[in-house]
Copies of this chain bind each other. A is one copy, B any other.
Amino acid sequence: MLSWIDGQSAEALSARDRGLAYGDGLFETIRVSAGRPRLLARHRVRLEEGVRRLSLPVNLELVEDELLRFSALLGDGVAKLMLTRGEGARGYAPQADAQVRRLLLGSPAPAYPVKNSEEGVTLFPCATRLAEQPLLAGLKHLNRLEQVLARAEWSDPAFAEGLMRDVSGRIVEGVFSNLFLVRQGELITAELSRCGVAGVMRAEILQRARDLGLPVIVRDIEYGELAQADEVFLCNSLYGIWPVRGMAKHAWPVGPLTRKLQGLLCELLDS
């Protein structure tokens, strides 16, 4: 499968890279179809924020140029873009002269069951909680052990995703998705200033909903609010929107707002 490092075809990285040593870097998981990266502007915005907060000295125009060329070759699939602080001497101190490493890894298009989108999914209630770290919240950085532990909690394919809560018990997101509730016509998603990943599809949905004049609320969500939701859905940049039909004792219908947003977004990922 297609794999580039710093713009050149390569499969292997220095074992002394700080991406491996410390997870000192960022990534984006990008849907590529018809040779083009989808939601590119939103991936760029999140990457800019990550590069700023981690102080990664990288030319993002070069990164984007490589991504476009890579996507044209990949055609259809997933491009995983990683930026790491490159090789460093032993120790945590970031090198003043860091040479940021740019990785692009291709994968086939995801093979999620069509019924996830059409009929909805069941959520596994993960016991792994998200720690609160405002300095890293929202970013798609390379420190993802919480997601690994959460995803390891279930292997039954009856659960397409898992629900993650923060250490205070609030509802935050899925393991690899963001989560929305609909209640009395309002669209609600978690505020992500203490933990969680600010997904690009989440951002797209927030924008589209606002453009439609829908009431949109980004705030903390208490666990008890799940029981009161009229609709629940998940989203990410690869599959779009999955209605959530149930979790533990809870059950929800596939509601009209979920279907409306699915309709609006269906052309974004494949066309």
Contact = CB atoms under 8 A, between A and B. Distances in A.
A102 to B, nearest CB: 11
A62 interface: no
Interface stretch (A37-45, A145-153, A183-191): A145-153
B15 A145 contact: no
Given A3-B15, A151-B92, A145 B54 contact: yes
A93 B148 CA distance: 6
Contacts of A152: 55, 93-94
A162 to B, nearest CB: 10
A110 B90 CA distance: 9
A132 B22 CA distance: 18
A12 to B, nearest CB: 4
Interface in A140-173: 141-152, 155, 167
Interface string A1-32: 00101000011111111111111100101000
Nearest to A128: B135
Contacts of A147: 22, 92
A15 B15 contact: no
Interface in A38-62: 54-55
B23 A145 contact: yes
A193 to B, nearest CB: 13
A131 interface: yes
Interface in A52-110: 54-55, 78, 80, 82, 84-85, 89-94, 96, 103, 105, 107, 110
A132 B132 CA distance: 7
Given A17-B20, A22-B147, A107 B90 contact: yes
A153 B94 CA distance: 10
A133 B135 contact: no
A217 interface: no
A18 to B, nearest CB: 8
9 contacts: A11-B14, A15-B105, A19-B20, A22-B143, A23-B23, A55-B152, A78-B90, A93-B151, A129-B133
Closest A-B pairs by Cβ, 9 of them: A23-B23, A143-B143, A131-B131, A12-B12, A131-B133, A22-B144, A92-B151, A92-B147, A20-B20
